[in-house]
Amino acid sequence: MFVKPEHFIIVAAGAEGDHALTAFDNCLLKAGIGNVNLVRLSSILPPGCKEAEKGISFPPGAFVPTAYGSINSEKKGELIAAAVGIGFSEDSFGVIMEHAGYCSAESARAKVEEMIKEAFANRGQALKDVKIKSVEHRVEKAGAVVAAVALW
């Protein structure tokens, strides 16, 4: 049985917590995908998949296919960032790329854009449009960032 998602959302959030994992959990909550089970996927947006106008209220515990980049830190003052982007073709599938690191949101965004362009070039496919979301966070105690594309 093959399942082809028909919708997606693209989100990015940064948050603090008392611990690295609770900071990550707080990011997911802030991004609207905190009460589901993320099923990590690679990099292909199915043909015809449409962006949801508004976020969706997923049932708690639902398995949600998600491409994401995340990073956390417990080093006070450290700058962390994450970005996720989708490259869209004219009439075929899209490509999702993500990056997270010890950098600015702009740096993460630029890296994602470069990777999308490379992925399309590697496929011999024309790139029609790019959509990217990024976030950065300066750590206070335990910080995390996440940038994600959730599909359903």
Catalytic residue selected from 70, 98, 134, 136: 98
Catalytic residue selected from 37, 51, 114, 118: 37
Tokens 């449009």 correspond to what residue?
129
In three state form, how does the secondary structure of 106-136 look?
A: HHHHHHHHHHHHHHHHHHCCCCCEEEEEEEE
Question: Would you call 74 a catalytic residue per the annotation?
Answer: no
Catalytic residue selected from 16, 35, 43, 113: 43
Question: Would you call 43 a catalytic residue per the annotation?
Answer: yes
Give the pair of three-digit tokens for residue 96.
Answer: 């999702």
Question: Would you call 136 a catalytic residue per the annotation?
Answer: no
Catalytic residue selected from 42, 53, 57, 90: 42
Kindly give, in sequence order, each residue whose CB lies less than 8 Å from that of residue 54, ignoring residues fewer than 6 positions away: none
The shares of helix, strand and coil residues in the chain, as percent rounded to the nearest 5, are 20, 45, 35
Question: Would you call 73 a catalytic residue per the annotation?
Answer: no
Q: Which residues are catalytic?
A: 37, 42-43, 98
